[in-house]
Chain A
Amino acid sequence: MGKREILQGIVKAVEEGDGGACAELAGKALAGGVKPLEIVDGGLSAGLRSVGERFGRGEMFIPDMMMAVEAMKEGMKVVQPELDRMKTSVKSLGTVVIGTVFGDIHDIGKSIVATMLEMNGYRVVDLGVNVPAVSFVQKVREVRPEVLGLSALLATTMREQKGVIEAVKKEGLRDRVKIIVGGAPVSEHWAREIGADGYGANAEMAVQLVRKLVS
């Protein structure tokens, strides 16, 4: 199996959301002397780009995309140690810390946003659900993200978004990070009222928003 064939195989594995094949082929590529950055550019990322384009044309759907990102990550697990050893890294457009606020255990919307951001070249640190304000603050201090994303599904829990923004302010971190909010009951009006930097009505708008805030 030649280099071109292997890279094409990786692209196909990402497109099909086949993590096992992705990891196996990435390993084969490394063993065959392909540079890790080339595996990323010509294989893993190329696969994601292809899925992204087909998603844009309405030929692929959110599950296709989420599984493509999962598969890409399986491949990255194999390539990452090599990248670390060579002291290189894959460029990202910026880092986003994301999570569902305290008292709320709904994860679907937040996870779709995280995937869409990863698809579009951002590094995402997903803190999961029911995340206390203090954990958001800690993570902002630790990874210094460009953007902090707060999700809430319930009219009662969305108030916690305000609490997180206040906690970030209190710790003197507010001017270091843009804060965006989302979730079914959240609105532009609410985002303004609590002093967020923006509101994404769905995953696509969240990506546009991050692009605008980070550029």
Chain B
Amino acid sequence: MARIFGVGRGLQYLSDAEVRAWHHESLNVLEDVGVKVGYEPAVRLLKEAGCDVSVRDGIVRVPQHIVEKALRLAPSRFVMGGRDPSRDIVVGGNMVHTTGCGNCVNVLDPESGELRPGTFEDLEGMVRLQDALDNLEVCQNPITPSDLPKSGLYVKTLEGMVRNTGKHLMNQAENAAEVRDHLDIMAAAAGSREEALRRNLVSFICCFKSPFIYGDTNVEVLLECAKLGLPVLVETDPISGATAPVTLAGLLIQQNAELLFGITLAQLARPGAPVLYTHAPTVMDMRTGDVSEGCPERSLYYIYCAQICRYYDIPSCGVAGTSDSKLNDLQSGIERTASLVTTALAGYNLIYSAAGTINSVLTASLEGIVADDELYGFVGRLLRGVDFSAEKVQGSVDVIKKVSHTGKSFLTERHTKENLRQEHWVPSLMDRRPHEIFTGAGKKSMIDAAREKAKKILGSHKPPPLPEGAEDKIAEVVARAQSRK
């Protein structure tokens, strides 16, 4: 059964006519400006489809009807499966889902709290921790470990992920061969290649450079995923004022055109290839040149893009709930909550890469991951809304009549006992107790409580075991990838 984190509420700023105007402006730009494509097989594919490939500079200009057709072919929803099928999610429509921590470089050391480069051991610990946290639904590669050789790096990280969680896995690949390595590993974990493909047990992030540069390796990866039918996160991360116009409208037009190009390319490689419209647009702080991951403009981008993705009926994915703070502190709490709430209410389908991260998504921590599981639970409650079904209303009115003016409370009513678990969200870290208890317990903050919870989970949690013999098969694939030049 597909899990549902929550249902987006369609927060929107644009009229339907404005969304269509934005779409058409993007198509015009794609046709006029075009995309620089650094991978010959992709250029051939585009040319055969009727795109205009400039002999002089290799820029591909895409006629509007080709994009429109691709948008019709791209699936509205698809499964992102885990080797444990109870962790499967279906992305698309108005459902909102989440991933865990993604693509950090450094960690806060669990013992000393000091910043240091992340290792493979950190990666395995984070994945195992997240396996126990239900509000983080998909497992993305949490860090790029500093202690692994460069060749076959992502394939090795997949090994660390697959043995520590039953959730859907999301990673990157250097080339087409590594995409196939990922599939081989998931086939070993799921028992067969057919099963791994049928439920899309692994997906790939393909990030392209703004403005309009589709470089070689990620295009190769995108085409291979599309051919195999594995989900691709087609991503660009434009920076307002630096790699995109300073006007937010300009950025939105540009990045929409950039993503429509990648989505079109995937559909040309295989009609119906599952793609996620993915982006982490941002602004540069023009006083310093620092790029912000916690800016309010990020939330605006997502509110608008949720609307256009609904118009396209294609799953959307973005990095919401991130912070530029160097600490798990008030700034972090404000930035991540504001962004997460607005993006989730807008109905963005997959919120990714953010959990447990600070320092502009460069630093991850175990306690941050646990704290975000709590925050995501809070937001999940917002998304579930209020149940106003006839049955609930009737039961509620009955109990109002029964209790009122009797001098009694609702506490002893069966109606209360039967409904409270669905109605109230129960926090596990947020402290609602009196000050005296807080003092008596050593004045621990939420992040202290999160750290303790992380330790407790890591001391006891066991992820679902891999099938017999799978570990050896996976190790073989990793060795093969690492020995490849």
B79 at the A interface (CB under 8 A): no
Task: Knowing A156-B150, A156-B153, A184-B362 are in contact, say whether A105-B287 is a contact too (CB < 8 A).
Answer: no
Of A11-19, A57-65, A72-80, the one contacting chain B is: A57-65
Q: Are B289 and A156 in contact (CB under 8 A)?
A: no
Distance between Cα atoms of A166 and B341 in the complex (Å)? 48
Distance between Cα atoms of A80 and B238 in the complex (Å)? 37
Q: What 1/0 mask marks residues of chain A from 135 to 170 whose CB sits below 8 Å from any chain B CB? A: 000000000000000000001100100000000000
Q: Are A187 and B243 in contact (CB under 8 A)?
A: no
Task: Knowing A108-B239, A156-B150, A159-B150 are in contact, say whether A203-B144 is a contact too (CB < 8 A).
Answer: no
Contact of A62 among B150, B153, B215, B284 (CB under 8 A): B284
Contact of A187 among B115, B153, B239, B246 (CB under 8 A): B115
Q: Are B289 and A203 in contact (CB under 8 A)?
A: yes
A185 at the B interface (CB under 8 A): yes
Q: Are A61 and B105 in contact (CB under 8 A)?
A: no
Contact of A106 among B153, B209, B289, B290 (CB under 8 A): B209
Task: Knowing A63-B241, A105-B209, A106-B209 are in contact, say whether A202-B116 is a contact too (CB < 8 A).
Answer: no
Q: Are B150 and A105 in contact (CB under 8 A)?
A: no
A91 at the B interface (CB under 8 A): no
Distance between Cα atoms of A108 and B241 in the complex (Å)? 11
Within 8 A of B (CB), among A157-204: 159, 184-185, 187, 189-190, 202-204
B286 at the A interface (CB under 8 A): yes
Contact of B242 among A108, A190, A202 (CB under 8 A): A108
Q: Are A184 and B360 in contact (CB under 8 A)?
A: yes
B466 at the A interface (CB under 8 A): no
A109 at the B interface (CB under 8 A): yes
Q: Are A187 and B106 in contact (CB under 8 A)?
A: yes
Distance between Cα atoms of A104 and B236 in the complex (Å)? 16
Q: Which residues of A sit under 8 angstroms from B215, Cβ to Cβ?
A: 105
What residue in chain A is nearest B209 (Cβ atoms)?
A105
Q: What 1/0 mask marks residues of chain B from 275 to 296 whose CB sits below 8 Å from any chain A CB? A: 0000000001011111100000
Contact of A155 among B144, B239, B286 (CB under 8 A): B144
Distance between Cα atoms of A38 and B360 in the complex (Å)? 45
Q: Which residues of B sit under 8 angstroms from A184, Cβ to Cβ?
A: 291, 360, 362
Q: Which residues of A sit under 8 angstroms from B106, Cβ to Cβ?
A: 187
Q: Which residues of B sit under 8 angstroms from A105, Cβ to Cβ?
A: 209, 213, 215
Q: Which residues of B sit under 8 angstroms from A58, Cβ to Cβ?
A: 287
Q: Are B362 and A62 in contact (CB under 8 A)?
A: no
Within 8 A of A (CB), among B179-238: 209, 213, 215
How many chain A residues touch the partner (CB < 8 A)?
A: 20
Q: Are A62 and B289 in contact (CB under 8 A)?
A: yes
Contact of A189 among B116, B209, B239, B362 (CB under 8 A): B116
Contact of A202 among B103, B115, B290, B362 (CB under 8 A): B290
B117 at the A interface (CB under 8 A): yes
Q: Are A108 and B243 in contact (CB under 8 A)?
A: yes
Q: Which residues of B sit under 8 angstroms from A155, Cβ to Cβ?
A: 103, 105, 144
Q: Which residues of B sit under 8 angstroms from A63, Cβ to Cβ?
A: 241, 246, 286
What residue in chain B is nearest A184 (Cβ atoms)?
B362
Q: Which residues of A sit under 8 angstroms from B284, Cβ to Cβ?
A: 62, 108
Within 8 A of B (CB), among A92-143: 105-106, 108-109, 112
Nearest Cβ on chain A to B322's Cβ, whole angstroms: 13
How many residue pairs between the two chains, A and B, have CB atoms under 8 Å in the bound complex? 50
Q: Which residues of B sit under 8 angstroms from A106, Cβ to Cβ?
A: 209
What range describes how many residues of B lie at the interface?
A: 20 to 34
What residue in chain B is nearest A113 (Cβ atoms)?
B289
Nearest Cβ on chain B to A143's Cβ, whole angstroms: 25
Distance between Cα atoms of A61 and B341 in the complex (Å)? 31
Distance between Cα atoms of A156 and B116 in the complex (Å)? 16
Distance between Cα atoms of A202 and B362 in the complex (Å)? 14
Task: Knowing A156-B144, A185-B362 are in contact, say whether A112-B153 is a contact too (CB < 8 A).
Answer: no
Nearest Cβ on chain A to B232's Cβ, whole angstroms: 19
Nearest Cβ on chain B to A57's Cβ, whole angstroms: 11
Q: Which residues of B sit under 8 angstroms from A62, Cβ to Cβ?
A: 284, 286-289
Distance between Cα atoms of A155 and B118 in the complex (Å)? 11
Distance between Cα atoms of A56 and B32 in the complex (Å)? 40
Contact of B289 among A112, A185, A189 (CB under 8 A): A112
Q: Which residues of A sit under 8 angstroms from B117, Cβ to Cβ?
A: 187, 189-190
Q: What 1/0 mask marks residues of chain B from 88 to 132 whose CB sits below 8 Å from any chain A CB? A: 000000000000000101100000000111000000000000000
Q: Which residues of B sit under 8 angstroms from A187, Cβ to Cβ?
A: 105-106, 115, 117
What residue in chain A is nearest B242 (Cβ atoms)?
A108
Nearest Cβ on chain B to A193's Cβ, whole angstroms: 8
Distance between Cα atoms of A113 and B481 in the complex (Å)? 37
Q: Which residues of B sit under 8 angstroms from A185, Cβ to Cβ?
A: 105, 144, 362
Distance between Cα atoms of A190 and B209 in the complex (Å)? 25
Q: Which residues of A sit under 8 angstroms from B246, Cβ to Cβ?
A: 63
What residue in chain A is nearest B118 (Cβ atoms)?
A155
Distance between Cα atoms of A106 and B291 in the complex (Å)? 13
Distance between Cα atoms of A189 and B103 in the complex (Å)? 18
Q: Which residues of B sit under 8 angstroms from A189, Cβ to Cβ?
A: 115-117
Distance between Cα atoms of A187 and B239 in the complex (Å)? 22
Contact of B288 among A159, A190, A204 (CB under 8 A): A204
Nearest Cβ on chain B to A185's Cβ, whole angstroms: 4
Nearest 9 CB-CB pairs, A to B? Answer: A61-B286, A155-B144, A185-B105, A112-B289, A203-B289, A155-B105, A108-B242, A62-B286, A62-B289
**Listed A/B pairs (21) with beta-carbon separation below 8 Å:** A62-B287, A62-B288, A63-B241, A63-B286, A105-B209, A106-B209, A108-B243, A155-B103, A155-B105, A156-B150, A156-B153, A184-B291, A184-B360, A185-B362, A187-B105, A187-B106, A187-B117, A189-B115, A190-B146, A202-B289, A203-B288
Known A62-B287, A155-B144, A190-B117; 17 more pairs at CB < 8 Å: A61-B287, A62-B288, A62-B289, A105-B209, A108-B239, A109-B289, A112-B289, A156-B144, A156-B150, A184-B362, A185-B105, A185-B362, A187-B106, A190-B146, A202-B288, A202-B289, A204-B288
B residues adjacent to A (C-beta < 8 A): 103, 105-106, 115-117, 144, 146, 150, 153, 209, 213, 215, 239, 241-243, 246, 284, 286-291, 360, 362
